[in-house]
Each structure stands twice: as structure tokens, then as C-alpha cells.
Amino acid sequence: MPIPASNSHRSAGERFWRRQTPGNPVLRTQIIFNSAYRKFQKYLANLGYRLLNGKAIVASLPANTNADPGAESWLSWNGFFNGTTFTSTPILPTDLHAPIIIRERVTGNNAFVPMVNAINGLLNVATRAVLNRQWEWRNGAVYFQGASGSTDLQIQYVKYWPDLIANSPILATPWYYQLVPFPGALSCLAWYIAYEVLVPRIGEASAAGCLANAQDEADKLFNDQARADQRTKQIRESLARPGSPGFPDGTGGVQPMKQ
């Protein structure tokens, strides 16, 4: 079938992509793939897929040196602010998308203890303590009240794997030969790519079937993990005091309940 000389039959979206990457189909394909790859990861991350869970220790956050207890510290991908001075280190993990749980300790000492996620904003304090105790995710940074001494953080977070590019992480390798670290994801990714290709041509409504198939395949990937979880025996933590009826006795049993 002859191809019309005019591009008036093309959608605005398709013409946009052609203007951005003229004469370079490989680059267009890379942009389309990585856009699909991001959608694929975002959907799985929202389900709680473990390959998109990260954990890291950020060591030696400096003390907050501002005499005003209302002056907050913050940690971002660019560096750390101690209430007075900004430094280029420490930084958040580079693959962090959003924190989930943060624990802390005095630098180099003791086990980590949980911090409170201050979803309604950090509470005001009269004086600084040895620990921050609270954290708030705001403007792409983790904010703290600021501790009186150096602290370490243990951060659990949602992470995204980077876009596929040439020579990274495998050197001397084109982007399309880089490894995708998601077992069994071929069909799911193929549907997401089809959706990215079709939307500029036929619109979101007409391409919705591809997106539905992609999400169905992603659900199946997640269900493989969920089935393994369902085989694990979960024991709820008792709220009773040690030694009281119903509390684990350390031998695999529990203290007998009074009749």
C-alpha cells in the first residue's frame, strides 16, 4: 500500500516524536521503550513488588548546629543541610523514589530504632535531642528536627531501576542488549511498549486494551510473589508484657492463659 506523501494523517503525538528524533528510529525506539519501562515499574511498585524495594544505610548525618530548635535539617539527592550549612554529602540513595520506613541510631552505636513518619508535618521541639525521632518527606528531601549529635539512618524505600542506556551498567553494550532485571516480564513489557506506540497514533481510549493487558500481566508477576508470601507463617507481635499470659515464652510456646 503506498504511503501518503503528506503527514497530515498522523496524530499530533506521532508528529511530535518524529520532530524530536528525526531520522533516528533507534533513538525513537529507546525513548518509547524507557517510557514503557517506567510505567511498568510504577505499576509494580504500587503493588509492593520486592524488586522495587530498596534498603540502605546513610551514615554520619552531622548534628544540627542552629541554636533555633525550629531550624530543620534535610537530606536530599544533592546533599545535606544541618540547619546552618549545606554540604554535598551525605546524600539519599540515588535509586530512591520515595522513603517508606526510616530508622536511626547515634552514629556507630546500638541498634536502629524506628522514627515517626510525620505525615502532618514535624512537631515543634523546645530543645534538640541525640536522635531526630521524626521525619517528613517534602520537596524531594527528608526533613528532620535535627539532632544534637551525629546520627545514622537506615532507609527502606521504593526504588526505580534506571532507564536502559548504552554502556551502562554493562560496558561496550548498546542499550537494547542491557539486562532487564525482572524475570518473566517479557509479555508485560511488550504490552506496555505497544501502548506507548499506539497512543500517539490512535489515542488513549483506543489503546486502552493494550494497557489493560499490560496491567493484567503485571498482576500475574506480582501474584507469583504473593503466592510465596501466603506459604509463610505470619505471627502477630503480642502487645502483652513479657511473662504475662499470651506472651511468647522464648521456646516457641506462650505463657498459659488463666482459666
pLDDT tens column, 92-133: 999 999 999 999 999 988 899 999 999 999 998 889 999 999
C-alpha of 241 from chain center: 36
- pTM for the full model? 0.75
The whole-number pLDDT of residue 236 equals 58
Q: State the DSSP string of 85-132.
A: -EES-S---TTEEEEEEEEEEETTSS--EE-EE-TT-PPP-SS--SS-
3-class DSSP state of 159:
strand
Note the pLDDT tens digit of each residue in 146-178.
999 999 999 999 999 999 999 998 999 999 999
- CB within 8 Å of 235: residues ≥ 6 apart: none
Query: How far apart are the C-alpha atoms of 235 and 253, rounded to whole Å?
Result: 12
Nearest CA-CA partner of 173 in 165, 163, 182, 181: 165
Phi, psi of 132 (to 5 degrees): -75, -40
Residue-wise pLDDT for 193-233, tens only, equals 999 999 999 999 999 999 999 999 999 999 988 877 776 66
Task: Name the average pLDDT for the chain.
Answer: 85
Residue 54: the pLDDT is 96
Residue ranges of domains in the chain: 12-47+183-230, 52-159
Contact assessment for residue 118 and residue 135, using Cβ atoms and an 8 Å cutoff: yes
Count other Cβ atoms within 10 Å, centred on residue 241.
Answer: 9
In the block, which residue shows the cell 525513537? 28
Amino acid at 38: R
Phi, psi (degrees; rounded to nearest 5) at 142: -95, 120
Closest Cα to residue 213, out of 14, 49, 36? Answer: 36
Question: Does 6 have pLDDT greater than 90?
Answer: no
